[in-house]
Structure 1
Amino acid sequence: MNWQTWHDEYDRPNSRLAQRLQVVQDQIRRALDGASPGPLKAISLCAGQGRDLLPVLKEHPRRDDVRARLVELDPRNTSAAQDAAAAAGLGRVEVVTGDAALVDLYQGMAPADLVLACGIFGNISDDDIRRTVGFCAQLCATGGTVIWTRHRGAPDRVPLICDWFEEIGFERQWVSDPEAGFGVGVHRFTGRPRPLTPGERMFRFVESDVLNESSST
């Protein structure tokens, strides 16, 4: 997968990815609107070019309250994200080129008020989805929000992912309609964040043919 050209779908207004992006951005705005006064922290896993968070921060009244860390493996994408943040005057946004699955990259930022896990759950195994959900209880502050995505193709794992979040102290805020053709979920953490576990890996991306084979067995 070329994760730079993957972003081209965002520029096609009627594409499913562009529609999903709009929904994610709307939910980010809602999360920032409802956040408590004072400094806020945001982290984005597999942030790509930052198209979900950066355009929202650019225009949002809370922009100067938000310290953000975007983690992305592809240096072409991190370069684009850095340019976008600089152009928007978002001096409190840090873009890190690295493996977003590594817990160590969130030291100093977790627990955060906003955690974005978009574009991940459709590319990893069910076991790793559940594992990553578990780590969200380390990444997210009490009262903080996790926004995540997953396709609605068979098998539809969105209801199961909701269950996994809710089993560990997250409260469902919103989930997109199945008829939308994509899944976006918003969960608020009501528990106490667990200490960040250094040296751990949350997930590994899997080739689509391997995922399809495992889903059919």
Structure 2
Amino acid sequence: MDWHAWHDDYDRPDSVLERRLRAVQGRIRIALDTSPPGPLRVVSACAGQGRDLLGVLAEHPRRADVSARLVELDPRNAAAAQRTAEAAGLRQVEVVRGDAASTTQYQGMVPADLVLMCGVFGNISDADIERTVAHCTQLCRGGGTLVWTRHRRQPDLVPQICQWLDERGFEQVWLSEPDAGFGVGAHRFAGEPQPLPPSTRMFTFAGA
């Protein structure tokens, strides 16, 4: 898979990816709007070119409050995200080229107010999804928001993901309609964050 070329569909009006992006950005915007005053921390796994978060932060009134870490393995996508952040003057956005599956990448930035798992759950095994959901209780602060994506092809795992999240203290805030052509979820963490162990692998990306 050429993950750089994969982003081209974002630029095609009304493509599934373009509509999914708008849905994700909407949830990010709401999460920032409703977060308590003060500094905010955001982490994004498999961030790609960072279009979801950077597209919101560029003009959001709370942009100065946000410190973010985007983790992306593909060097071209990481470079594109870095250019976008710099062009928007987002000096508190850190783009890390590295393996987003390693918990080490998030040390010092968690628990975060907003955790993005977009483009992750559709590219890992069911067992790894459940494992990553458990790790989200270490990535997300109490009261923080998790935004995630998953395709709705059969067998549709979205209901099961929601159940796994519920079992681990996440409350569903919003879920895209089943016929939207994509799955986007936003869940609030109602529990207490657990310590994040270093050097632990959360998942194995397809084709890795």
- TM-score, normalisation: structure 2: 0.99
Question: Which structure 1 residue ranges, 5 or more long, are not aligned?
Answer: 208-217
Distance 2:112 2:179 in 1: 31
| Matching residue's letter, 2:67 | R
Post-superposition offset of 1:14: 1.6
Post-superposition offset of 1:206: 2.1
**2:104 maps to which residue?**
104
Post-superposition offset of 1:103: 0.2
| Matching residue's letter, 2:196 | L
How many residues end up aligned between the 2 structures?
207
SS at match of 2:91: coil
**2:199 maps to which residue?**
199
Counterpart check, 1:179 vs 2:179? yes
Distance 2:105 2:179 in 1: 36
Post-superposition offset of 1:190: 0.6
Distance 2:8 2:203 in 1: 25
Map 1:79-118 onto structure 2 (within 5 A): 79-118=79-118
Identity %: 66
Distance 1:21 1:199 in 2: 31
Post-superposition offset of 1:55: 1.1
**1:75 maps to which residue?**
75
**2:160 maps to which residue?**
160
Structure 1: which 4+ aligned runs deviate by more than 4 Å?
none
1:45-75 CA distances to partner (integer Å, 9 max, x unpaired)? 0000000000100110000000000000001
- TM-score, normalisation: structure 1: 0.95
SS at match of 2:51: coil
After alignment, is 63-72 or 197-206 more displaced? 197-206
**2:54 maps to which residue?**
54
SS at match of 1:122: coil
**2:44 maps to which residue?**
44
| Matching residue's letter, 2:102 | L
Backbone CA RMSD of aligned residues: 0.6
Counterpart check, 1:188 vs 2:188? yes
Distance 1:14 1:22 in 2: 10
| Matching residue's letter, 1:156 | D
Post-superposition offset of 1:148: 0.1
Map 1:135-150 onto structure 2 (within 5 A): 135-150=135-150
Post-superposition offset of 1:28: 0.3
| Matching residue's letter, 1:112 | A
| Matching residue's letter, 1:187 | H
**1:126 maps to which residue?**
126
**1:16 maps to which residue?**
16
